[in-house]
Structure 1
Amino acid sequence: MTPAAQLQLARLLQLASPALPVGAYTYSQGLEWAVESGVIRDEATAGRWIADLMQHGIGRFEAPLLAALMAAWAGGNTGEILELNDEFLASRESAELRAETVQMGFSMRRLLHDLRDNSLAGVAQTVEPLPEVAFPTVWAGIAAAWRIDPEAAITAYLWSWAENQVMAALKAVPLGQAAGQRLLAELGRQIPAAAVHALKLPKTEWSNFTPAFAIACARHETQYSRLFRS
């Protein structure tokens, strides 16, 4: 690898790291309610829930939207960036899901300044005036500014999401560390194909129709005992 490629890899690992200061670990995206209701009760059911959501929801809407955002950022298409940001905000099925992406987007926008990286100035200038910015909007802007390959970026984005879901399952079910690693190994096997599919999926075929996920997220809002914010 060239030094430039090595730097891009390091930057991508930074974006996908649990150390990214956006508070992702505080959200379960309805998984905690799925545990409360008995839909998720062990390693097998946790793996099925996360994999199905990745295949039918995240991989068919959020991932292709992220790819479109990266293309818009790379092409300097501000109108498309704003339209996709609004589309993602409108796609959040529950108050908690919407609050999650707005809070994480706010934290990513603040990180743009905290990084003190001049290459991110254009991203900051675009998102600064927005009253609400979605997490994928800023994430994609940084990835594009750092010239990260879109397929690698989507792969890392899906991995970060899956890792957060597994960590939520470890706490909520609960599961052991070895079970978590088995789940991540299986999800990791599925992620490359999901990333390639997301890159090729035309906008007319994007879909986040996942009724059980939407119900879980909505019911979590009134769940009495909980660890997570969504």
Structure 2
Amino acid sequence: MVETLKLLQFGDSVFPVGAFSFSNGLEAAVEHGVVHDRDTLRDFVRTITRLAATADGVALLAGHRAVAAGDLDRIRRADEAVHLRKVNEEMRAMSVRMGQKLAEASARIVGESLLKERIGGAADGVPVTYPVALGVLFAELGIGEQDAFAAHQYGAASMVLGAALRLIRVDHLDAQSILFAVNAHVADDYRDVRGADLDDMQGFAPHLDILAGAHQHAHVRMFMN
């Protein structure tokens, strides 16, 4: 029961890591007409969660598994893998800022940990990233990797849907219906990536990268990405 409460606390979409500042690419997708109603929003959210599984999700599992071995270098390599695969500047900024905030919050709330040690080692030029920090934190809190992966996927979807309520004409029940449908894929996504290693990480989505590049130079923006 205690582990479940810890999962709910640190996996909560309102946990103060700055997720509300990001749309995970949705703002640009709306501006360019890629997303304009409930159906296109559902397809977009599913694309985001699939990419979250095959890229960041693999790194999250690597970070989680590194805790059992006390392998700080493997955690650093997972962070590096995430950072190098963020092609556009805004997605890199999102991953690093949220990762740093989570690590700092963990240090204050939880105390001494491998994640706190990793913050101190980030001066080597490899920043702490959100998915790896989440995996490490949950492992240290005694939360299993499947639940950690599920929380990460839930967060990716809820970030987009929270932004959607401010960007297009959908209501809260539309958003919850989409979240319910997308969540049904989490177990399949986990099975697809649980045997992957860092070299297998993939996030091929050129359309999203183009939208992110356009968003970076937009004159008016509600979100940071």
TM-score by length of 2: 0.92
1:102 maps to which residue? 96
Structure 2 residue aligned with 1:61: 55
Please state how far the C-alpha of 1:36 moved relative to its aligned partner.
Answer: 0.3
Q: Distance in 2 between matches of 1:82 and 1:202?
A: 14
> How many Å separate the matches in 2 of 1:204 and 1:125?
25
Shift of 1:204: 4.5
Answer yes or no: is the 8 Å Cα contact 1:29–1:217 preserved in 2: no
User: Which region of structure 1 is more displaced relative to structure 2, 199-208 or 32-41?
Assistant: 199-208
Preserved contact between residue 3 and residue 143 of structure 2 (Cα < 8 Å): yes
Indicate the SS of the match to 1:41. Answer: coil
After superposition, where does 1:79-98 map in structure 2 within 5 Å? 79-98=73-92
Residue deviations 1:160-189 (CA, integer Å, cap 9, x gap): 111111111121123111211111111111
Counterpart-to-counterpart distance in 2, 1:43 and 1:207: 27
Aligned twin of 1:48: 43
Tell me if the contact between 1:12 and 1:148 (Cα under 8 Å) persists in the aligned partners: yes
Q: Which residue of 1 aligns with 2:130?
A: 135
Q: In the TM superposition, what is the alpha-carbon distance from 1:203 to its structure 2 partner? A: 4.3
RMSD: 1.5
Matching of residues 13-32 of structure 1 within 5 Å: 13-32=8-27
What's the CA shift for 1:202? 4.5
SS state at 2:217 partner = coil
1:173 has 2:165 as partner: no
Deviation at 1:135, TM superposition (A): 1.4
Q: How does 1:153-192 map to 2 (within 5 A)?
A: 153-192=148-187
Unaligned runs of 5+ in 2: none
User: Aligned partners of 1:121 and 1:202: how far apart in 2?
Assistant: 24
What does the per-residue CA deviation read over 1:96-146, in whole Å, with 9 as the maximum and x for residues that have no partner? 11111121122112112320x34x433212322313211122212211111
Q: What does residue 225 of structure 1 align with? A: 220
Provide the C-alpha distance between the structure 2 equivalents of 1:205 and 1:85, rounded to a whole number of angstroms.
14
CA contact (8 A) 2:60 2:149 kept: yes
Aligned partners of 2:40, 2:187: CA distance in 1, in Å?
22
Gap change, CA 1:187 and 1:72, over 3 Å in 2: same
Task: Report if aligned partners of 2:134, 2:148 keep a CA contact under 8 Å in 1.
Answer: no
Identity of aligned residues (%): 22
